[in-house]
Amino acid sequence: MTLALSVLVGSAVRVLPVVRAGAIAAAGFGVVVVSGLAAQTPGVPAVLVLSGAGWFGALAVGLNLRLFDAHRRAVADTVRRDERLALARELHDVVAHHITGIVVQAQAARLVAGKHPEKVGESLAGIETAGSDALAATRRVVGVLRDTGDGPPPTSTPEGLGDLVERFAGHGPAVRLRLPDTAPSWPPEITSTVYRVVQESLTNVSRHAPHATSVTVTVTENGDTVTVDVTDDAPATPAHPHRTGYGLTGMRERLEALDGALHAGPAGDTGWSVRATLPLPARRRR
């Protein structure tokens, strides 16, 4: 009876709404009292001590686990909120980037209409394509915000990674950066996500891999996919068996919103690797 009472009270206090959890805990205390009265033995009945200890222990464990779960949810919600605020700022930049391109093409079309009217159709087709790209980019970024400032400015090339790596190497292990041979032309939301994945991965190295002597950052483009791989050479320690934190939780949400994926784990016998893959939008693969 004591075991069943403990499991019931502990589970109820951890997962049920406050009113129902309190009712079950109170009912459990009532069972303890009734069992003591029913013993009809002189002094303090052993069944009362055993049942009372089980009830109190289950109540304490259930409350602690409930508070721990609430704390984790609160931290995760804060991470999601901060990530969405950063994405909201980037949404403005993405829209501004594409709208600027549309305005420039419209101005060019006006000039073409005066000198070469036969080429107006080609200019209008370019404006239509730019508008479609703007709509697709906006939808991809808004995807993360549909459930409800430290974001880098989106650029057309990943050149900002060089500055990021230099700043990190100034107070951390040496970093080797490998970029595509030819300068890629990615949508702003892809470029900013690549930047943020590298930034968060290097931050995790600083926090959780103090014995790392080198870090390799590799960014590749294979056909219709961009891959980011950040690997350090520090062995895993008992203090930090897992080096993924709440920052990577936000990165995983961002990647999934862009139909990408994130994997973090040991890289062989030594080292830790964070690998992100991002599909390129079809209109950009030209």
Give domain limits for the chain.
2-75, 83-145, 160-284
Per mean pLDDT, which range of 6-15, 46-55, 194-203 is the poorest? Answer: 46-55
Task: Judge contact between 157 and 97, C-beta under 8 A.
Answer: no
Residue 209 CB neighbour total at 10 angstroms? 22
- pLDDT at 265 exceeding the cut of 90: no
Which percentage of the chain shows pLDDT scores above 70?
76
Per mean pLDDT, which range of 49-53, 154-158, 199-203 is the poorest? Answer: 154-158
Instruction: Tell me how far apart the alpha carbons of residues 31 and 39 are, in angstroms, rounded to a whole number.
Output: 12
Partners of residue 41 on adjacent β-strands: none
Per mean pLDDT, which range of 14-23, 74-83, 143-152, 153-162 is the poorest? Answer: 143-152
Task: Judge contact between 77 and 71, C-beta under 8 A.
Answer: no
Structure confidence at residue 144 (pLDDT): 54
Instruction: Tell me how far apart the alpha carbons of residues 206 and 178 are, in angstroms, rounded to a whole number.
Output: 20
Instruction: Tell me how far apart the alpha carbons of residues 189 and 87 are, in angstroms, rounded to a whole number.
Output: 9
Q: pLDDT per residue over 273-285, tens digit each?
A: 899 999 987 644 4
What secondary structure letter does DSSP report for 226?
Answer: E
- pLDDT at 222 exceeding the cut of 80: yes
Alpha carbon distance, N-terminus to C-terminus of the chain: 71
Which CATH fold topology does 160-284 show?
Heat Shock Protein 90 (3.30.565)
Instruction: Tell me how far apart the alpha carbons of residues 194 and 227 are, in angstroms, rounded to a whole number.
Output: 9
Structure confidence at residue 284 (pLDDT): 41
Tokens of 166: 């230099």
Structure confidence at residue 79 (pLDDT): 76
For 90, residues 6+ apart whose C-beta sits below 8 A from its C-beta are 141, 151, 154, 188, 189, 192
